[in-house]
Amino acid sequence: MKTTYPESSHPNANREATPDVSRSSWSVFWRLLKLMRAYRSWMALGVLLSTLAAIAGIGLMGLSGWFLASMGLAGVAGVSMNYFVPAAIIRGAAIVRTAGRYAEKLINHDVTLRAMSTLRVELFARLLPLAPARTGFLGHAELFSRLRADVDRLEHAYLAVLLPILVAAIALPLVTVVLACFVWQVAALGVAMVLLVAVILPYALARRSAASSVAVVELEARLRTLTSDALLGAAELRLYGGEAIQAERIAALTEEHGRVRAQLDRLQAAGGALVGLAAQATTIATVLLGARALQQHHLAPAELSMIVLLALAQFDVLLTLPEAISQLGATLVSASRVFALIDAAPAVDDPAQGLPRPTRTDIRFHDVAMSYAPTDESGLDTAKRWALCGVDLDVPAGRRVAIVGPSGAGKSSLIGALLRFYPIQRGRIELGGQPLEAYAGDRVRDMIAVVEQRTHIFNGSLLDNLLVGRPDATAEQIHAAIRTAQLGAFVAGLPEGLNTWLGEAGVLLSGGEARRVSIARALLADRPILVLDEPTEGLDAATAHALLSALDSLMQGRTVILITHRLAGLAELVDERYTLRSGRVVREPIGEFSRA
């Protein structure tokens, strides 16, 4: 089972990809809103419709109170009144409120979903140059958490925070002006209570909920990682009886998450209750102030009903604000986690103007040193820090070179440096006689096909997995690659042939079959340089023998680097042999390993 480290404690954790929660909350919030600037016209329309719906709702409440009171008083007095005009206005306000709410939800949610979709695509595009050096220690569950859950949470900033604030900022002053035209004391009271509910209360809630909001996001991320590990490592857990321990860890995190979530819920409930109390207090005070104005003949009886209902209705636009503000902390933490990945610099920078694709395929390592950990001026004296330590290696064009070494000797690091996945700290690597850093990383990788020891099989069909090597491959090219990789009999036995679904991580494939799929990919890619990483490791003798024939066909006319911890059975495929020990390459006598 994979060991999971918290980002802050893993010895090789990528600091650039870890969110800086100390960053100014306002700067994160405004940056988050800037992501939606491409939709500002639609956002303005959404705010306008939301405001119209809110004003129509408040007006409907106040006008209905006036109308009902007026009709009642007219009936008591035995006089007639023109009820057609106010009835029409009330119906119009009801239609505007209903249509406005429908339209604003449609527009505002559409804008938000489009913005989040754009952000998710941008984040994925930013992740590609960061992999694997900047993302390797975060883990797939953590990366998916930021790509999905964290981005989903960001819609809260506009829909639940900015939109209600803008609507309240436009609608409430209008209500205040109307109230002031009748009883200025009621208007002043409304302003004071609105400031309490819309400014002081949210500020207090934000301060009280800050720590819990951060904890909720972190606990959810850890739960996803732990659960993912448990599912992927289910076989190992059952084999060694670790299910109970893993279940206890998940249960403990779930309980902690529930406790912190309950704290936030209590704050939200308290905020909602305080808004309700403020609305009721304002209503009672309005009744008292209005009654006094009525006694002083400054207010008509029907107008008293109107201002009481107006004073109460204005709180409708503020009901969701305390809850939204209490969740804003979690939104900003998620935003920081997303922006940390967007802002992270790739471990290997591409040149501003890279060289064109080289025509030669010779490779040279000269005194190359590479470390995954941060380095200092101590140089190569601290050999345990270095994956590669002064590597010198020449691979002429068209030659086949074997690099033999035990596990941990640096063989995979050699491949990572050649593919420009990881930076080197000393020396240089040349491709076609030019420094490797003079080429863009994609141009280098476009020259090299890799048959890895652990081939990743995507959760798709066999055809989908083969087309990874060459998306525009023709049916003839695909079948030729299948024949050369000796997958013909395997494909013929599949229930749906090339369209057979291979499952998560290629659960339907054996190790040898997955390796031959990787060879078929490399054949389809048809690149002049080939890197083979432990091509026959873990295979039985018959499968290994069949695979060697495929490998020999794949090597024809290519510059080849064969990585293995033992050369038995592969010696006839190579021209030269090197041994890699403790990050250094030593050339061995050709002797029996020569193909000539």
Distance from chain centroid for Cα 503: 24
Q: Same domain for 339 and 369?
A: no
Q: What is the pLDDT of residue 189?
A: 92
Q: Same domain for 507 and 374?
A: yes
CA nearest 371: which of 382, 383, 384, 387?
387
In a domain, 446, yes or no: yes
Q: Same domain for 331 and 394?
A: no
Q: Distance between CA 189 and CA 174 in Å, rounded?
A: 15
Q: What is the pLDDT of residue 24?
A: 64
Quote the longest CA-to-CA distance of the chain: 122
In a domain, 4, yes or no: no
Query: Dihedral angle at the C-alpha atoms of 442, 444, 446, 448, nearest 10 degrees?
Result: -140
Q: What is the pLDDT of residue 539?
A: 63
Q: What is the pLDDT of residue 162?
A: 85
Q: Same domain for 58 and 107?
A: yes
Q: Same domain for 386 and 461?
A: yes
Residue indicated by tokens 């035209």? 181
In a domain, 75, yes or no: yes
In a domain, 140, yes or no: yes
Whether 290 and 307 have beta carbons less than 8 Å apart is answered as yes
Q: Same domain for 147 and 292?
A: yes
Whether 487 and 516 have beta carbons less than 8 Å apart is answered as yes
Edge-to-edge strand list for the sheet holding 576-581: 448-451, 529-533, 559-564, 400-404, 576-581, 584-587
In a domain, 350, yes or no: no
Q: Reduce the DSSP state of residue 140 to 3 states and report it.
A: helix
Q: Distance between CA 258 and CA 252 in Å, rounded?
A: 10
In a domain, 67, yes or no: yes
Q: Same domain for 374 and 332?
A: no
Total domain count, the chain: 2
Q: Distance between CA 286 and CA 366 in Å, rounded?
A: 85
Q: What is the CATH number for 376? A: 3.40.50.300
Q: Same domain for 376 and 275?
A: no
Q: Same domain for 384 and 489?
A: yes
Residues of the chain with pLDDT under 70: 1-24, 374-384, 538-540, 543, 568-569, 588-596
In a domain, 208, yes or no: yes
How many C-alpha atoms does 407 have within 13 Å on its Cβ side?
2
Structure tokens at 466: 């083969």
Q: Same domain for 318 and 379?
A: no
**Domain span holding position 181:** 23-343
In a domain, 546, yes or no: yes
CA nearest 132: which of 419, 519, 390, 457?
419
Q: Same domain for 122 and 178?
A: yes
Q: What is the CATH number for 181? A: 1.20.1560.10
If one counts every other C-beta atom within 10 angstroms of the C-beta of residue 283, the result is 16
Q: What is the pLDDT of residue 430?
A: 92
Q: Same domain for 393 and 527?
A: yes
Q: Distance between CA 21 and CA 584 in Å, rounded?
A: 42
- Residue-wise pLDDT tens digits, 343-400: 888 888 888 888 888 888 899 999 898 888 754 444 444 444 788 888 888 999 988 8
Domain boundary among 343, 378, 408: 343
